[in-house]
Amino acid sequence: MDAPKKSSRRGPRRKNYMKQQDGVEIDTSIVNNKPVNKNVEDITEKNYERQLQNWDDFVDSLEDLKEYVFRIGMAMRGGKLPDERLSWKGLNSYWKKFTAAYNRERGTIPKDHLTSVTRLIEPRGALGKRLNIVADKGPRRHATAEVLTWAGEFFWTLDWKIFARPRLRNDLWAALLQSVFTAARVSDYLESSSRYNSNIGLHYKDTQFIVYQNERGEPEFALQLTKFLKGRCHLPSTLPTPDIHERGKLEPQALYTNPILFLAKEIIPIQWHGSVLNSPIFCGASGRIMTAGLFSKELRSLLIRAGFPNPPGLHSFRAEGLTNIDANPNCSDIQRQTMAGHVNNHIQARHYASRNPGIDSQAAFMRTQARLMNIGELFRNLEISWEPELWHSLPIAKKEQLSMSDEYREIEAQIRAFTTTKLELPMDSPTDPEFKHEAKHEVITMSPAEVDEAPLAHPVRKLRRDLESLEKKSLNMLWEETSKGMVVGDKRTFVCRGISRPFSRLRSVMPLRRQLADLLTIPARLRSTEGKAALVALVKLCNSKTEADRPGLGATCHCSRSSSDHLHIYKCTKKQFSFAEFCFFCNQWLYDAEAWERHCHDHLTQDLIPMELSWKRVETTFLPGHCPFCLWDTGLGCAKRLQSFCSLSDWETHIRAHGVSWQERCPNLRCEGSFHDGESYQNHLHDLHRVPKKLLLPAQTSLKRGVDDVSQEELPAKKAKLGDGPVEARFVFHYCDPGETFSGKGGLA
């Protein structure tokens, strides 16, 4: 038999790496005898460093481990009331970070020492009892579909906030829908604060966009995403890639629930253009990827405006999503774990599942057919409380009470002192750019101890924020006192309290928002007329510089001094014609007195006149003031009743001229109740109709102007950046004095 033929070598020549070492120098910083610590994230290193610093600051021997946790625990209790609880998770977390850091940097801590201290700080341990430690502060909350849909309806049809960067409204909602519909963590698509400046998050290159034929044979879009999982970004092959779509043949829902709509910022190619591949899907103001911090803050602020005083975070939506997936018999455990980014089933049970499993155990016991309705879902709704009549700013009675407190007055005095000192400073000291640069440099090079004692960069701003903080605390107390513990239900009961510019007033100066408010609640498909119109309006919103505009008034004025200020254009146009009146509800000029009278009559008889009547500047335009006394005086002509005051001073002068400080009934007969004294009457007009109390007081006893009481008219007319002001969406006819009782019920027109 022939010897087996030696097979000829195929393929590339085999390499011997150890023979290819020419010129290689061994880096002794890497190659040495030192033990290698586990590779951990930067944030973890930082956490460890902090605990070692704590150790060095407190004690210097292993025997003092107990003293170490005792001191940390007592420091954490600092400022807390005796019956306030301290979370075991916090102290235990610090302890574990310390032991891990010590083991890395200094050596091993004896095991019996570790066990002793761990037992000491348990809620049932001696130190645990001393510190009033509790195992946790309550179960995880779930934010249900009802919370999401109300948030969407509010955000697109009632929200009074004006975004300085209009695209943020679109991106915020898109990021929320995308995250909720894929049960994501906030850091899956946005840049987590724990991975700060890492640029980790969803970019176009991490997505795949397809068009396909759906169950109805119609074309439909879907987008596959990549989740950048907590702790697993270094393992890209394990990252989940869930998708969002248009719901196929299922009944269309309100357009604002269509996640694809808000991602279509331009005509979408099926393959992303190379130039956008490295761009984030959601941007912050700087053009970089949106940070989870910004998203969380905006989401919280939005949900509070929508009436959730203790709003759920994104993780509560994730928990609800995973709970519902778990309850769906069509989904396997593997599918749910992959979607969630979990490595085992245990995580779902421990952190996400509702304590009410939502099964019909009665039917199971009786061996009868289980009912289809999931009662557990009803109980989950109770986890997020909703107050449809939430105050969004302090009622005047509470504000006056707060401003009389020592703490408030002391801060006010400090602000006055600072303002006076600043005026006396020479021009070339702290405002000099070079000085500022040096000061900044000094701060950067200061030691931590020096930084603690260093003067603040903006002391007055800090003081103003302290005042705001006091008001916020007071508002929180008011929320607790007036809480009715409701859950999202009858949305017609929603009213805005403490808002000067509810969306019902802003509609006339927000043309795109008005259009979207009408379109996005329509149950329709993306390719319907309404869907396409909504898409066009959203693209316009994303590309616009401002959400506010006053169409119809005119883009330029008639005088030689060109101006984009709407007040100037209005005054100029009035001068130009013998008769010209502008309707601020319809945004149109009328040049005939009789037609104007008829027009006002129509508004008074057919329209709902807003409850809030104060003059307000809105970026480059304004909302005119109206007089509550003339408006509801049926003895006057309609034009007189609906007279618009286009400057703050005109409006204030007119109201003062009435000299009314008390009436038994509100001039607006839609308001219920009677007022037994001037105080309650003025509070009502201030809080509900936004007529400042100072205009209703006799001139000699008028309230002094407060530190924050700056006339809006005095502010420059250029783009005003507006924050979370208070709002109202619909009419409240009943007023209850917050100083007395809150049992009254708001109503709707």
Residue ranges in 283-322 that form contacts with DNA under rule CB under 7 A: 284-286, 288, 291-294, 296-298, 300, 313-315, 319
Closest approach of DNA to the CB of residue 417, in Å: 16
Q: Examine residue 103 and tell whether it contacts DNA (CB under 7 A).
A: yes
Nearest by Cα to 597 from 659, 640, 561: 640
Decide: 290 and 283 in contact? Cβ < 8 Å: yes
Closest approach of DNA to the CB of residue 420, in Å: 16
| Stretch 715-734 residues interacting with DNA (CB under 7 A) | 720-724
| Stretch 348-387 residues interacting with DNA (CB under 7 A) | 350-352
CA–CA dist 650, 633 (Å, integer): 19
CA–CA dist 22, 26 (Å, integer): 12
- Using DSSP, state whether 459 is helix, strand or coil: helix
Closest approach of DNA to the CB of residue 28, in Å: 25
Q: Examine residue 456 and tell whether it contacts DNA (CB under 7 A).
A: yes
- Among 344, 369, 701, 741, contact with DNA (rule: CB under 7 A): 344
Q: Which two tokens stand for residue 476?
A: 């929180």
- Considering CB under 7 A, how many residues would be counted as binding DNA? 92
Closest approach of DNA to the CB of residue 419, in Å: 11
Location of structure tokens 């979408």: 268
| Stretch 200-259 residues interacting with DNA (CB under 7 A) | 229-233
Give the residue with the Cβ less far from DNA, 242 or 628: 242
* DSSP class per residue in 235-273: -GGG----EEE--TTSPP-BGGG-TTGGG-SSPPPSS--
- Among 55, 65, 99, 509, contact with DNA (rule: CB under 7 A): 99
| Stretch 19-38 residues interacting with DNA (CB under 7 A) | 38
Q: Which stretch binds DNA (CB under 7 A): 451-459, 477-485, 642-650, 740-748?
A: 451-459
Give the residue with the Cβ less far from DNA, 220 or 326: 326
Write down the H helix ranges in 359-427: 361-366, 375-381, 396-403, 406-424
Closest approach of DNA to the CB of residue 613, in Å: 21
Give the residue with the Cβ less far from DNA, 140 or 626: 140
Q: Examine residue 66 and tell whether it contacts DNA (CB under 7 A).
A: no
Decide: 294 and 164 in contact? Cβ < 8 Å: no
| Stretch 486-525 residues interacting with DNA (CB under 7 A) | none
- Using DSSP, state whether 621 is helix, strand or coil: strand
CA–CA dist 505, 134 (Å, integer): 48
Give the residue with the Cβ less far from DNA, 397 or 720: 720
Closest approach of DNA to the CB of residue 300, in Å: 5
Give the residue with the Cβ less far from DNA, 343 or 364: 343
| Stretch 144-163 residues interacting with DNA (CB under 7 A) | 161-163
Q: Examine residue 623 and tell whether it contacts DNA (CB under 7 A).
A: no
Give the residue with the Cβ less far from DNA, 708 or 740: 708
Closest approach of DNA to the CB of residue 194, in Å: 4
Give the residue with the Cβ less far from DNA, 232 or 601: 232
Q: Which stretch binds DNA (CB under 7 A): 24-32, 152-160, 347-355, 667-675?
A: 347-355
- Using DSSP, state whether 593 is helix, strand or coil: helix
Give the residue with the Cβ less far from DNA, 294 or 534: 294
Dihedral of the alpha carbons of 481, 486, 490, 494, in degrees to the nearest 10: 30
CA–CA dist 232, 192 (Å, integer): 13
| Helices and strands in the chain: count of H runs, count of E runs | 28, 9
Q: Examine residue 140 and tell whether it contacts DNA (CB under 7 A).
A: yes
Give the residue with the Cβ less far from DNA, 343 or 477: 343
Decide: 200 and 233 in contact? Cβ < 8 Å: yes
HSE-CB at 621 with a 13 A cutoff on CA atoms is: 23
CA–CA dist 207, 281 (Å, integer): 9
Closest approach of DNA to the CB of residue 396, in Å: 19
CA–CA dist 742, 749 (Å, integer): 20
Give the residue with the Cβ less far from DNA, 164 or 268: 164
Dihedral of the alpha carbons of 396, 399, 404, 406, in degrees to the nearest 10: 180
Closest approach of DNA to the CB of residue 261, in Å: 21
Angle at 434 between CA 430 and CA 437, to 5 degrees: 85
621-623/616-618 β-pairing? antiparallel
CA–CA dist 388, 484 (Å, integer): 9
Q: Which two tokens stand for residue 54?
A: 């704590």
β-bridge partners, 254? 523
Give the residue with the Cβ less far from DNA, 266 or 442: 442
- Using DSSP, state whether 212 is helix, strand or coil: strand
Q: Examine residue 544 and tell whether it contacts DNA (CB under 7 A).
A: no
Radius of gyration of the chain (CA): 32
Give the residue with the Cβ less far from DNA, 115 or 649: 115
Window 697-716: contact mask with DNA (x via CB under 7 A): -------------x------
With residues binned 3-state (H G I as helix, E B as strand, rest as coil), the percentages for the chain, rounded to 5, are 45, 5, 50
Taking phi first (over 0 means left), then psi (-120 to 50 degrees means alpha), and beta for anything else, what does residue 197 get?
left
Closest approach of DNA to the CB of residue 710, in Å: 6
Q: Measure Cα distances from 236 to 188, 464, 573 in Å.
A: 13, 46, 63
Closest approach of DNA to the CB of residue 649, in Å: 19
Give the residue with the Cβ less far from DNA, 77 or 525: 77
- Among 92, 224, 474, 647, contact with DNA (rule: CB under 7 A): 92
Give the residue with the Cβ less far from DNA, 196 or 591: 196
Closest approach of DNA to the CB of residue 748, in Å: 28
Q: Which two tokens stand for residue 307?
A: 């009436």
Give the residue with the Cβ less far from DNA, 108 or 556: 108
| Stretch 160-179 residues interacting with DNA (CB under 7 A) | 161-165, 168
Location of structure tokens 């089933």: 345
| Stretch 457-476 residues interacting with DNA (CB under 7 A) | 457-458, 461-462, 464-466, 469
CA–CA dist 627, 641 (Å, integer): 8
Give the residue with the Cβ less far from DNA, 185 or 686: 185
- Among 52, 58, 64, 118, contact with DNA (rule: CB under 7 A): 118
Q: Examine residue 661 and tell whether it contacts DNA (CB under 7 A).
A: no
